[in-house]
Amino acid sequence: MLEITDLTANYSGIQALRGVSLSVKQGEMVALIGPNGAGKSTLLNCVSAQVLPASGSIKLDGKEMIGQNAWTVSRAGLLQVPEGRQVFAEMTVLENLQLGGTALRSRAATYPLKRVLTLFPILDERRQQLAGSLSGGQQQMLAIGRALMGGPRLLLLDEPSLGLAPLVVKQVFATLRALNQEGLTILLIEQNAKQALEVTSRAYVIEQGRIVHAGPSSELANDPEIEAHYLGQGGSND
């Protein structure tokens, strides 16, 4: 579904991506892990047309996406859950979710409001509450729900565990695993490598803008080098 080839990109005057290539097949849940500053978020922002790459290719079902604007990319079904959640604090939970639906255009609502509220019952309970008054975990659920309202063909998640309590992290990842088992394709960007490898089938490791490891998640999780360098990442969330 997604094919990234030799992608280079600059961010704040620094070369953040240096010839990155990776792929995500339909129905897969794939992780991209690595330390802070490795280029994970830059890559995701290139896919969602927030950052214009310097060179390389990003294809969705064989169609080149570089040069498309963010609105066109979202209408194609590439929906991103941004780092830090970025909900609209002065709008209600329901209004945030309804905004997500604007990405549908003429596509079918694969995750209509009723389905999203079933996935996240707390959002149903607080649908008229201002988003800014929610806890961090509830805001993360809202950010995911907002993206689902847009009918994603490929869901892009940027550090969904960031700043969340361990119990909430487990709940969020359990929901993502369930969505993937239903057939939703997911590209997960995570610093919490251990958690990411537990829920995905394949993974890439990025460091200093380059892919340095790739393979089945189970194999990477048991690789002594990966364990020594990455599997302690993300354990301090609270």
Write the CATH number of the domain with boundaries 2-87+153-229. Answer: 3.40.50.300
Q: Where are the domains of the chain?
A: 2-87+153-229
Confidence of residue 233 (pLDDT cuts 50, 70, 90): very low
Are the CB atoms for 5 and 21 separated by under 8 Å? Answer: yes
Confidence of residue 232 (pLDDT cuts 50, 70, 90): low
At 108 the pLDDT is 82
Least confident of 51-65, 137-151, 190-204, 221-235: 221-235
Confidence of residue 229 (pLDDT cuts 50, 70, 90): confident
